Structure 1
Amino acid sequence: MTNELIIKSLSTLEDLQEVQQLEILVWGMDCVPTHQTLTAVKNGGIVLGGYINNQLVGFQYSFPGFKDGKVFLCSHLLAIHPDHQKKGYGRLLKVAQKEEALKKGYHLITWTYDPLESVNANLNIGKLKAVCRTYMEDCYGELKGALNEGLSTDRFMVEWNLEQETESDEQLTDKATHIVTTEMNEQGFPFIEDYSLETTAEVVAIPIPTEIQKIKKENLSLAIDWRVKTSELFQTLFSKGYVVVGIERKQGENIQNYLLKKTE
């Protein structure tokens, strides 16, 4: 028995059917049809499976994208079995995805995620060094499943340049200006007390809670308040030329900060 994650590229109908079952387990909503994933992998797409002792515990699904005359890889799903989450397997699947993408000639991978989900933020921005300059309001409309229930499906659309060097989060943190004031409520949850949209700072820090799902379950109105206020903050800053480029994260704290750098 071993806990080593073995990652392999998947292309058979049987493997993709297994992926579909894991998708249903993790997301609890309508799944991608196997005829879609099968067609994608035959035409430039990538499906990777992560296995522990020959059991599928995670997968990643992506397909080719095209915009403004450029081809890129659109990463649509990344899922880890609930019994194996927070073990670094998501990062390993993304690193393997990068390697496969480069083999196929891709230089850019894009995907969406909920900007209030701190674990995803830490992986996508903090570890993989993807960047974000696009905020999509209610991107998918109403989605089924506990993860999405109760909040609008706002999303960051991130860009992962596979061959670009990035500035360290420590350097960015030292330069960051905090334009949002947070406090704690009687439940022990953080909330945004005040913020300013008037800034010309080179680097700006925008907080998010580290446990949005817990907040949503116990105080939905507070979760909605986080959504509404961060939506305004991100969209305003993006319109001024700021780009999310890093994460400031401290162990044990109930908020973490996105670091946005002015590029225009």
Structure 2
Amino acid sequence: MSNELFIKSLSTLEELQEVQQLETLVWGMDSIPTHQTLTAVKNGGIVLGGYINDQLVGFQYSFPGFKDGKVFLCSHLLAIHPEHQKKGYGKLLKLAQREEARKKGYDLISWTYDPLESVNAHLNIGKLNAICRTYMEDCYGKLEGSLNEGLSTDRFMVEWYINQDNQMDQELPSQATHLVTIEKDEHGLPFIKDYRLDTYEEVIAIPIPTEIQKIKKENLSLAIDWRSKTRKIFQALFAKGYVVVGIERKKEDNIQHYILKKQK
């Protein structure tokens, strides 16, 4: 028995039905119809499956997008079976997606994710070096499933320029300006006590909790407060021309920081 992940492109109805089943298991909501994923694959889209010993344990689904006269790849879903999460398989699927996208002639892959989900932030911004300058408020409206329950579906829209070694200068100064004051409540849960937006520093750091789902379960109003305040902060900073370019992790404080840099 091997634990090595084998990744391949999927295109048959049977393969996409298996993807549909895994999607329902992971996300806990209605899955994308196979007639949609099948049509996407036949028209420039990509569905990748990750297998362990011939068992599908992860997948990635994307389709063509078009904006401002340019075609890009819209990466819509990535899911890993609960028994195989936190093994680095998500990154492997994204790297395989990059290679398949290059073969099809794409230069840009874009997708959305919840900016308060620290694991996704670490993958998308920290490991893949995607960037973000767009905040989408309540992007999908109300969604089913425990991951989205209780909070508005705010999203970062990230940009991954797959033919560039570095999208922006990743050699950031060792010190970033902190605009947010964090404290902990009587149960040890972090919260934003205060913040300011009057900054013109080149590099700034904005915190998010490492366990927003835990906060949501233990104190929903506190999770909503995180959503509300970070929404205002990111919207204001993006409007000033700041771009999310990195992640700084400090797990011992149950906080990690987005690193934003002023766009020249």
TM-score by length of 2: 0.98
In structure 2, how many angstroms separate the alpha carbons of the residues matched to 1:150 and 1:251?
A: 25
Kindly report which structure 2 residues correspond to 1:2-21, keeping only aligned pairs within 5 A, or say none.
Answer: 2-21=2-21
* Shift in Å, 1:176: 1.0
**Which AA in structure 2 matches 1:37?**
T
Q: Which residue of 2 aligns with 1:50?
A: 50
Kindly report which structure 2 residues correspond to 1:144-155, keeping only aligned pairs within 5 A, or say none.
Answer: 144-155=144-155
Q: Which residue of 2 aligns with 1:92?
A: 92
* Residues 175 and 202 in structure 1, CA contact (< 8 A), matched pair in contact too: no
User: The residue matched to 2:224 in structure 1 has which SS?
Assistant: helix
Structure 1: state its 5+ residue gaps.
Answer: none
In structure 2, how many angstroms separate the alpha carbons of the residues matched to 1:242 and 1:236?
A: 9
* Shift in Å, 1:198: 0.3
In structure 2, how many angstroms separate the alpha carbons of the residues matched to 1:230 and 1:219?
A: 17
Q: Which residue of 1 aligns with 2:40?
A: 40
Kindly tell me the number of residue pairs found equivalent between the two proteins.
263
In structure 1, how many angstroms separate the alpha carbons of the residues matched to 2:15 and 2:59?
A: 11
Q: Which residue of 1 aligns with 2:249?
A: 249
CA shift in 2, pair 1:205/1:173, >3 Å? farther
**What per-residue deviation string (whole Å, max 9, x for no partner) do you get for residues 179-228 of structure 1?**
11101111111111111010000011000000000000000000000000
User: The residue matched to 2:253 in structure 1 has which SS?
Assistant: coil
* Residues 116 and 209 in structure 2, CA contact (< 8 A), matched pair in contact too: yes
**What per-residue deviation string (whole Å, max 9, x for no partner) do you get for residues 47-71 of structure 1?**
0000001000000000000111000
In structure 2, how many angstroms separate the alpha carbons of the residues matched to 1:252 and 1:200?
A: 29
In structure 2, how many angstroms separate the alpha carbons of the residues matched to 1:173 and 1:48?
A: 37
Q: Runs of 4 or more off by more than 6 Å in structure 1?
A: none
User: The residue matched to 1:231 in structure 2 has which SS?
Assistant: helix
In structure 1, how many angstroms separate the alpha carbons of the residues matched to 2:214 and 2:250?
A: 19
* Residues 197 and 236 in structure 1, CA contact (< 8 A), matched pair in contact too: yes
Identity of aligned residues (%): 78
In structure 1, how many angstroms separate the alpha carbons of the residues matched to 2:26 and 2:56?
A: 12
Q: Which residue of 2 aligns with 1:133?
A: 133
Kindly report which structure 2 residues correspond to 1:40-119, keeping only aligned pairs within 5 A, or say none.
Answer: 40-119=40-119
Q: Which residue of 2 aligns with 1:201?
A: 201
* Residues 135 and 155 in structure 1, CA contact (< 8 A), matched pair in contact too: yes
Q: Does structure 1 residue 236 correspond to structure 2 residue 253?
A: no
**Which AA in structure 2 matches 1:206?**
I
User: The residue matched to 1:60 in structure 2 has which SS?
Assistant: strand
CA shift in 2, pair 1:2/1:168, >3 Å? farther
Kindly report which structure 2 residues correspond to 1:146-185, keeping only aligned pairs within 5 A, or say none.
Answer: 146-166=146-166, 171-172=171-172, 174-185=174-185
* Shift in Å, 1:253: 3.0
CA shift in 2, pair 1:161/1:95, >3 Å? same
In structure 1, how many angstroms separate the alpha carbons of the residues matched to 2:165 and 2:4?
A: 29
Structure 2: state its 5+ residue gaps.
Answer: none
* Residues 185 and 191 in structure 1, CA contact (< 8 A), matched pair in contact too: yes
User: The residue matched to 1:228 in structure 2 has which SS?
Assistant: helix
* Shift in Å, 1:250: 2.5
* Shift in Å, 1:80: 0.3
User: The residue matched to 1:40 in structure 2 has which SS?
Assistant: helix
TM-score by length of 1: 0.98
* Residues 8 and 50 in structure 1, CA contact (< 8 A), matched pair in contact too: yes
* Shift in Å, 1:30: 1.3
* Residues 141 and 152 in structure 1, CA contact (< 8 A), matched pair in contact too: yes
User: The residue matched to 2:31 in structure 1 has which SS?
Assistant: coil
* Residues 210 and 251 in structure 2, CA contact (< 8 A), matched pair in contact too: no
